[in-house]
Amino acid sequence: MFKPLLSVQDLSVGFASGRTLLTAVSDVSFDLTAGETLALLGESGCGKSVTALSLLRLLPAAGRILGGEVRFAGNDLLQLPEVDMRAVRGGGMAMIFQEPATSLNPVMTVGRQIEEVLERHLALSGEAARQRALELLNAVGMADAARRLNDYPFQLSGGMKQRVMIAVALAGNPRLLVADEPTTALDVTIQAQILDLLRRLQAEHGMGMLLITHDLGVVAQMAHRVGVMYAGEIIEEAPREAFFSSPRHPYTQKLFAALPDITRRGGRLETIDGQVPALTAMPSGCRFAERCPHAWERCRAEAPKWHQVGEQHRVRCHLLAEPERLVASAPQALRETNSLATPDSALLTVDHLRVHFPIRRGVFQRTVGHVKAVDDVSFELARGRTLALVGESGCGKTTAGKAILQLIKPSAGSVQLAGRELTVLSRHELRPLRRRMQMIFQDPFASLNPRLSVGEIIGEGMSALGVEQPNAGREAAIARLLQQVGLDPAAAQRYPHEFSGGQRQRIAIARALAVQPELIICDEPTSALDVSVQAQILNLLKSLQDDLGLAYLFITHNFAVVEYLAHEVAVMYLGRIVERGRVDEVMNSPRHLYTQALLSAVPSPSLTGAQKIIRLTGETPSPANPPNK
């Protein structure tokens, strides 16, 4: 039996709220050996990130370790003085944080932030540190890495910032890596590269990994063991094979049932009713009882104990003691598509759209070239239809979306909304049209005003664009929107920083829906969501489309979402659409090599049918100097 690299026993964590101490993580125990990956799954607010932060003693000011033991390489980290913990962080254990935009220092260059770790833990400095920083950026797939060393975080896309965060975490050659959603913001090809990189580092250095993710495909590829968390407790733990072949807890089974795919088109995804209980209202019995279709009186009165159901497979559920209580869940009824649209009713027409950014150099800032972010893009989008726009980070998807809404001025081309040309309108003339077209931004933390409450954020657009003018009507509308996106109406009184990443994304979606638009440009709206909430959002978007004839331009790297929701898909590469067609045509018979490479890199949430990933040789060309053909 191998001695564990990390041993966590009965870890409990709470947060101070006034004079009250609220428990967020309760008696969590697990072991992790060198070279092993343990994946933690669960919805937002289940305590996964709090558990990870506790291991490194990086809890916010209100956080408190209430009990337990965290032993790493023979030392109890909870008892170490802070000066000794500084040597552990980055050198012994490192963490890839969930939101790189808020974790990277905005006033330090990318290169300096990596070099800082190298100086502290490997005693490298000067040119040696800079060369090692360059190697790390190349290793995580950063295009034009030498130039990026001198860039600041605000100059990078979301995917690029995530790659820098991974490079910073790996710089100190840690023995244990805590990865909190390490590939959430990455497209599938870079995700495949990062997962390959992490696997290679594990093999070379025997590095242990605690992987926090909501992507079951990533779990299938990376994990050796899986732990499912719910409301601060681990409720199922199993080896990867047993987990995917025979999940036993009702919550785990619901997570699998919520996965979107092409076989569920035309119907509603299964969702988990209700929400994770708040810290102020944690049940005394089974914490999943209020949302479980099999619960009975004992579940609400008595907390379940662990039951061994196989080798190293254990489940915390009363059903294992009383299997006769198991009842068949009624399948959710399929919803017939009742779209108000007809195939010919084009709402959005984009013709030869270009967005070129000037490259200026010299004392007089002369224009010496252009970055061709969007280069000759054309398509039509009908009412009640969804066009998915897919491609790698930096290919121009988000820029195209912003140019369509005139948030960025196009360099050339035409954008028509219901026959009206948008590119020639002034800001004043565009204002009445803002209600008809909205955008859900990729980074909810950056797009939500931290000084406004959630209710004020949602109500701001209503007031500005004349929706639900009476206060009472507006408050009721805000409450309905919050319920639609899976949040408690009481959340209207809270502020963005009080929510998890997934919850902030739901707030951003509610804000976009508040003004009842006809066209919504969705920029990775489900990338930060766990699978159960993703199912709620996809069901909501599909219902709104069926009932109201909404059109969606859906920017995403999640091909399972494309298969389920989209009618057509367009693949972008270096600012151009290289393949477009019906979803079934493109997904089943891709013609372009780039599309084939993207699809081959998609991680499958199963252990069967693994396919070879197509590797594209060389670096992605710069949009400042794209190929001629």
Say which amino acid occupies 239. Answer: P
Q: Using CA atoms, how far apart are residues 335 and 564, in angstroms rounded to an integer?
A: 13
Residues composing the chain: 629
Instruction: Identify the CA nearest to 72 among candidates 136, 24, 6, 8.
Output: 6
Q: What is the mean pLDDT of residues 30-41?
A: 94
Q: Are 211 and 225 in contact (CB under 8 A)?
A: no
Number of H helices, E strands in the chain: 22, 22
Beta bridge partners of 229: 234
Q: Using CA atoms, how far apart are residues 508 and 481, in angstroms rounded to an integer?
A: 11
Return left, alpha or beta for 376; rule: phi > 0 is left, psi -120 to 50 is alpha, else beta: left
- Cβ burial of 131 (10 Å; 0-12, 13-18, 19+) is exposed
Distance of CA 560 to the CA centre of its chain: 14
Q: Are 11 and 24 in contact (CB under 8 A)?
A: no
Q: What is the DSSP secondary-structure string of 590-619?
A: --SHHHHHHHHTPPPSSSS---PPPPPPSP
365-400 pLDDT, tens per residue?
888 888 888 999 999 999 999 999 998 877 889 999
pTM above 0.85, yes or no: no
Q: Using CA atoms, how far apart are residues 528 and 567, in angstroms rounded to an integer?
A: 23
Q: Using CA atoms, how far apart are residues 187 and 393, in angstroms rounded to an integer?
A: 6
Angle between helices 158-170 and 110-122 (to 10 degrees): 10
pLDDT for position 337: 42
Rounded to a whole number of angstroms, the distance between the first and last alpha carbons of the chain is 58
Nearest 10 degrees: CA dihedral of 53, 244, 296, 289? 20
Say which amino acid occupies 581. Answer: G
pLDDT for position 469: 57
Predicted confidence band at 618 (pLDDT cuts at 50, 70, 90)? low
Q: What is the mean pLDDT of residues 563-568?
A: 91
390 phi, psi to nearest 5 deg: -120, 160
Q: Are 38 and 237 in contact (CB under 8 A)?
A: no
Predicted confidence band at 189 (pLDDT cuts at 50, 70, 90)? confident
Instruction: Identify the CA nearest to 448 among candidates 99, 37, 63.
Output: 99
pLDDT over threshold 70, residue 629: no
Instruction: Identify the CA nearest to 278 among candidates 526, 491, 520.
Output: 491
Question: Lowest-confidence range among 108-117, 158-167, 407-416?
Answer: 158-167
Structure-block tokens of residue 416: 């028509």
Predicted confidence band at 528 (pLDDT cuts at 50, 70, 90)? low
Q: Using CA atoms, how far apart are residues 68 and 348, in angstroms rounded to an integer?
A: 58
pLDDT over threshold 60, residue 401: yes
Q: Using CA atoms, how far apart are residues 183 and 189, in angstroms rounded to an integer?
A: 11
Q: Are 169 and 194 in contact (CB under 8 A)?
A: no
**Residue listed under structure tokens 């009481």:** 490
pLDDT over threshold 70, residue 514: yes
pLDDT over threshold 80, residue 608: no
pLDDT for position 472: 65
pLDDT over threshold 90, residue 602: no
pLDDT cut 70: percent of the chain above it: 92
329-352 pLDDT, tens per residue?
544 444 444 443 444 568 999 999
Question: Lowest-confidence range among 111-125, 147-161, 462-476?
Answer: 462-476
Which residues does 422 contact at the CB level (< 8 Å), separation at least 6?
A: 404, 406, 415, 416, 430, 433
DSSP conformational letter for 238: E
462-501 pLDDT, tens per residue?
887 777 555 667 888 899 889 877 788 999 999 998 887 6
**Residue listed under structure tokens 């076989």:** 263
pLDDT over threshold 80, residue 607: no
pLDDT for position 156: 87
Residue ranges and CATH numbers for the domains of the chain are 6-223 (3.40.50.300), 250-325 (no CATH), 346-359+368-600 (3.40.50.300)
195-248 pLDDT, tens per residue?
887 888 788 888 999 999 878 888 998 999 999 999 999 999 999 999 999 999
425-468 pLDDT, tens per residue?
998 899 889 889 999 987 787 889 999 999 999 998 888 777 75
Q: Using CA atoms, how far apart are residues 390 and 395, in angstroms rounded to an integer?
A: 9
Q: Using CA atoms, how far apart are residues 499 and 444, in angstroms rounded to an integer?
A: 11
Instruction: Identify the CA nearest to 293 among candidates 261, 250, 264.
Output: 250
Question: Lowest-confidence range among 158-162, 548-552, 585-589?
Answer: 158-162
More confident residue, 31 or 431: 31
